[in-house]
Chains A and B, each alone.
Chain A
Amino acid sequence: MNTPLNFTLNFTLNAQSVTLSTAKDPDGHERSLLDLLRNELGLKATRLGCAQGQCGACTVIKDGQAILACETWISDLEGAKITTLEGLGNAHEPHPLQTAFIEVQAAQCGFCTSGIIMRSAALLEHNAKPTVKEIEAALHSNLCRCGVHERVIKAVLLASNGLTTTDHLPQRGTP
């Protein structure tokens, strides 16, 4: 309703440009990036876990930073560069993290995995060789209930060439 007729919003999603004629719902209310990805663009690897910004299941990368798609309004995407798990890699050209997660079998139900991989990918963009502590700190807001934390840390280390699978994790620090 409060969207001008000639409104267009442009951003890049998984290296493709997207143009929207409206950022809002028919009643003029804000819509989340998560809703756009899952329900309009058919990109479902980004998951709805709480819609309250508390679980990290909807983590994607915006301009190199990990963000929560459930808390990001479409209106704020003008000019942004968004990457989701689908854009990170695929079966033919997997991202090193995807290769490592498969190698280590770092998942069980896999529901939190997409968000964890995206946050790890953002971490590796800024810090190519993170320590265990840095990985743990980065992933602090991503919840996992199946309890594959140890495998995830191994996989991220493996992807950053800090570890071969036969290695043991370095001793962790005390609290």
Chain B
Amino acid sequence: MISETSLPSNTRPLSPSVLANLKKSPTVRDWLDISACGEVQIHTGKVEIGQGILHAMASIASSQLSLSPHQIKVMAANTLRSPDEAVTSGSLSIQDSGATLQQVCAQVRVRSINAFAKQYAVTIKDVVLEEGFLQAGEHRAPLVSFITTSILDEAVSLEPWDPKQPNIGLKQSDNPKLEETQRRPDLAQKVLGEFEYIQDILKPQMLWGLVLHPRTLKGQLIKESFKAFESFALQITGVTQVVHDAALVGVLAKSEQALSRCNAYLELHTLWDESRSELPSELQNNQVLASWLRSQPLQSQSITPEGVGDYSTARTLNAPNAPNPSKTQSDSADGALSVKATFTRPYVQHASIGLCTALGHWQGEGEERRLLVITHSQGIYNLRRDLGLAFGLPSQNIHVQHHPGAGCYGHNGADDVAYDAAWLAQFAPEHWVRVQWRRSDELGLSPMSPAMAVEISATASPSGQLLSWETDIWSQGHGTRPGRESSPALLGAWQVDQSSHAAPILVAINAPLQSGGGAERNAVPLYTIPQWAVHNHRVLSTPVRVSALRSLGGHVNVFALESVMDMLAQSLKMDPLTFRLNNLTDPRAIAVLKEVANMSQWSLQQEKQQGERQDSEGWGLGFAKYKNTGAYCAVVAQVVVSESVRVKSLYICADVGHVVHDDGAKNQIEGGAVQSMSLTLLEQAQLGPEGVISKDWEHYPIAKFGQTPQISVSLIDPQQSPSVGAGECSIGPTAAAIANAVSQAISARIYNMPLNAENLLKGLES
């Protein structure tokens, strides 16, 4: 649900997520502290994964405290000091952590102003806070000198701050769009080569580690192959140990070079028998994935206007039509038009440019035995919990420190490699052990985003009103993150002990719909429809490991939903924009659609397409409100189709509520759009009997320079609306806009992603 907390106004009731944060971490000092040298330090449980969140947090604190963001230090999350805010995911950081921080900083400001007014015997409303200084008449003092221990130790108020004077002490002219506040300080460090990534950390006496996993979930170590590898590796100068526990193999060395030489051997020799994995042959052919998904054991649940409920009841209420191929029909007595179509997407991969890395270190003995881990995980407390389960250690004996890695777009291998480092470090007590996955591990072992099939039946009246909508989704769950089950959700923990006590391979689940759902994310149309139902069929088989990737099911669901909207508009001979506007009531949804139409000169382009049609060029529209509770986003794509699809331009309008960091939000929206374009046009995991085959960049190509479009982003900034995240809102609408533009360009609908030459040809043939 939408957070009811507003930025920057402090007058709304606090949202449940902010209240939950303040229940767990109740005092000011849990969130804000003053260092020995008088620096304001912010503690957040959210982590930097390349999205610029720490700078956004600094911006929020700076606007409440009238400091420059550069005068505020946002500390990297760790389990000794930071509030527990679970996972940095789902575009929730601004609305949860940011809103909490705003409450904390508002309280600090008001309390400090009170103390200043008292000391100088001035009235509160005469106190002005400017560039970190409190001023009233001739009195002037640094804000920080008034943030006393008693203010820091106070509980954070659970009520909105002083509704009558929410902005006390703040100057109205404070402009968060000032150039200085727009620039992320970490980007300057990155551009100048000064930024330290987790991959760059070295510790004294550190050992370099390699942890080798089977390529499938049930691979078995071949003893003779291991022996041969062991004798090879131990001859390399610098290799100190070769170890294994069941299927998991580790190498410890004094140099990275020694590990590189092990890798050269491993590129030519496998250590595992993968035959037990019995990877279904259907998974090796993306053309039949959809029928495989439908044929699996399923757990079905339905969403209807009444809420989330039992599938069989909902299905009885909305009996599906007899199956028919993807087409539009006008067959009912009242002239209603119907569309029924199935859309698919294969498994896709995270494909970060950096490699998952972690450092582990064991200290002490017996009850004093402690594990230290440095990680780029999205959820340090959840990782700590699952490491505790895996190693039989109480949480208080494990310390997890976050350190940024390369871009993270969902549940990748960051948690798994943290387990690997901890596991391997057991063989070298008192040493730090650094483990980095190889490129083939990064692409071949990280959880993938599930393959999906989405079938939609929809009807509309001849006048262009939607009448009914029914969606069926087949997909594995979209979450196997740590911190949620009674056994560890860590790859290596499933492979070390293959007895009956071993940690079981976890079946992916979907988050509850009120948190945005998983496979069913964004499947419920935002359009006004008298009768609708969404049936989510969770595939219970786990032939390959899957979990969350940016926008989860939203990528496929919006692609499908907005394709059907265009199919209906086409059969109604209606402009796709007009058809959407006819069926929307939410003014913010209408506003982003109208603005994107304006930016792209939509009507003019459509007229051109109707008139002198430019061969192979198409324009398409896509829209969604992320998770149905987050940011509104409308996209217009211009494509040219020859053998393949070239996206020439993307016009994007989004409403993310009040904008905290204008350029940061735009950067996220642009990046999401490019990533979506890449997923939609190019990407498909390739699987074989021995696991993921697409484990290098040659076999898993992503969008390159020369394939990316011109992008224009416009943000509607409703000052009084709560801020929501921007990181994922452009994924679904971009996919849909491209699909609709391609359809216009080639006068045929492509139902199967990726929209590559092979699928285009198949679409044209049918």
Q: Which residues of A contact B (CB under 8 A)?
A: 25-27, 29, 31-32, 35, 38-39, 44-45, 47-52, 54-55, 57, 84-86, 88-91, 94, 98, 101-102, 105, 107-114, 117, 135-137, 139-153, 168-169, 171-172, 174-175
Contact = CB atoms under 8 A, between A and B. Distances in A.
Interface string B193-233: 11111011000000000000000000000000000000000
A35 B256 contact: yes
Contact of B663 (A105, A145, A147): A105
B192 A89 contact: yes
A110 B190 contact: yes
B4 interface: no
Contacts of B352: 109, 111, 145
A174 B640 contact: yes
Contact of A109 (B255, B406, B674): B406
B591 to A, nearest CB: 24
By DSSP majority rule, is chain A's interface helix, strand, loop, or mixed? Answer: loop
Nearest to B201: A44
Given A44-B200, A110-B190, A146 B710 contact: no
Given A105-B182, A105-B663, A149 B354 contact: no
Interface in B642-683: 642, 644, 646, 648, 663, 667-668, 670-675, 678
B708 A149 contact: yes
Contact of A148 (B257, B648, B667): B667
Contact of B671 (A98, A111, A146, A174): A146
Contact of A29 (B261, B439, B640): B261
Given A109-B49, A172-B710, A145 B407 contact: yes
Contact of B648 (A91, A136, A150, A174): A174
B439 A107 contact: no
B367 interface: no
A172 to B, nearest CB: 6
B351 interface: yes
B409 interface: yes
A50 B439 contact: yes
Contacts of B711: 150
B403 to A, nearest CB: 13
Contact of A145 (B404, B436, B667, B675): B675
B237 A110 contact: no
Contacts of A102: 183, 187-188, 191
Contact of A107 (B191, B196, B258, B697): B191
B668 to A, nearest CB: 8
B764 interface: no
A110 B50 contact: yes
29 contacts: A25-B255, A32-B260, A35-B260, A44-B193, A44-B196, A45-B194, A48-B199, A88-B193, A91-B188, A94-B192, A98-B192, A101-B191, A105-B182, A105-B184, A105-B667, A108-B407, A109-B353, A109-B354, A109-B407, A114-B193, A140-B706, A143-B353, A146-B671, A147-B670, A149-B703, A149-B705, A153-B705, A174-B640, A175-B642
Nearest to A138: B705
B256 A110 contact: no
Nearest to A100: B191
A100 B258 CA distance: 39
B184 A145 contact: no
A45 B193 contact: yes
A86 B194 CA distance: 8
Interface string B402-422: 001111110000000000000
Contacts of B704: 140-141, 143
Given A94-B192, A140-B706, A110 B646 contact: no
A152 B671 CA distance: 12
B448 interface: no
Given A49-B353, A51-B260, A98-B192, A147 B671 contact: yes
A110 B186 contact: yes
Contacts of B169: none
Contacts of B709: 150, 172
Residue in B191, B195, B671 whose Cβ sees the most chain A Cβ within 10 Å: B191
Contacts of B436: 48
Contacts of A143: 353, 697, 702, 704
Nearest to B664: A105
Nearest to B443: A50
Given A147-B671, A151-B670, 17 more contacts: A31-B257, A51-B438, A55-B439, A55-B697, A85-B192, A91-B188, A102-B188, A105-B183, A108-B667, A109-B49, A110-B186, A135-B705, A145-B409, A147-B675, A147-B703, A150-B711, A171-B710
Contact of A26 (B237, B256, B355): B237
Interface in B228-284: 236-238, 255-258, 260-261, 263
B671 A86 contact: no
Contacts of A57: 353-354
A59 to B, nearest CB: 12
Interface in B698-746: 698, 702-706, 708-711
Residue in B192, B408, B409, B706 whose Cβ sees the most chain A Cβ within 10 Å: B192
Nearest to B705: A139
A175 B646 contact: yes
A25 B264 CA distance: 15
Nearest to A169: B710
B51 interface: yes
B52 interface: yes
Contacts of B648: 172, 174
B497 interface: no
Contacts of B236: 27
Interface in B505-527: none
B696 interface: yes
Contacts of B187: 101-102, 105, 107, 110
Residue in B663, B671, B698, B709 whose Cβ sees the most chain A Cβ within 10 Å: B671
Contacts of A146: 50, 407, 671, 675
Nearest to B191: A101
Interface string B29-55: 000000000000000000001111000
Given A110-B50, A143-B704, A150 B670 contact: yes
Q: Closest 9 CB pairs between A and B?
A: A109-B50, A147-B674, A110-B190, A45-B193, A109-B407, A147-B671, A111-B406, A85-B193, A149-B708
A114 B182 CA distance: 22
Given A109-B50, A111-B407, A47 B192 contact: no
A113 B705 contact: no
Contacts of A111: 50, 197, 352-354, 405-407
B321 to A, nearest CB: 39
B351 to A, nearest CB: 6
Residue in B187, B705, B706 whose Cβ sees the most chain A Cβ within 10 Å: B705
Contacts of A150: 670, 674, 708-711
B448 to A, nearest CB: 15
Nearest to A46: B193
Nearest to B641: A175
Contacts of A55: 353, 439, 697
Residue in B195, B197, B255, B353 whose Cβ sees the most chain A Cβ within 10 Å: B353
